[in-house]
Amino acid sequence: MTVRATDYDAGLNGTVFYEIDSYGNPPASANGKLLFKINVNTGLIQTSLRNSLDREKTSQYFLPIVAKDRGDEQRKTTTTATISISDINDQRPQFIDVSSVNDNLVKMMQLFGLKSESCG
């Protein structure tokens, strides 16, 4: 994923670079390391830690990004990139508790049995 910002000023005043906005509470791991990094020049967003993302735990992240120019009186704009984690097939099918399903079936059959007795 790549973010782009344009700046119509000339020269350094219009030269844009990108940073993760540390004031915007960017997503981090339990030990405080940022989960994402951004290429200063291209705006390319990548994960910074291997195997740190799990769609089954968090399927979406909001990454605060700031674009700055290199002018003397630097101007900047912040935005939030929404990052959706795509699924990998890392889970096996799991049976839900079979015995309790049977229990419920038995209870339901008993209920129906009672009803038909009281009707007839």
Query: Contact positions toward Ca ion, by CB under 5 A?
Result: 7, 9, 13, 69, 75, 87, 90
Give the SS3 label for residue 19.
strand
The amino acid present at 13, given as its one-letter code, is: N
Shortest Cβ 83–Ca ion spacing (Å): 16
Nearer to Ca ion among residue 17 and residue 37 (C-beta): 17
Shortest Cβ 13–Ca ion spacing (Å): 4
Nearer to Ca ion among residue 7 and residue 19 (C-beta): 7
56 and 69 in contact (C-beta within 8 Å)?
no
Kindly give, in sequence order, each residue whose CB lies less than 8 Å from that of residue 72, ignoring residues fewer than 6 positions away: 12, 13
Element (H, E) at 80: strand 76-84
Nearer to Ca ion among residue 26 and residue 61 (C-beta): 61
Shortest Cβ 61–Ca ion spacing (Å): 16
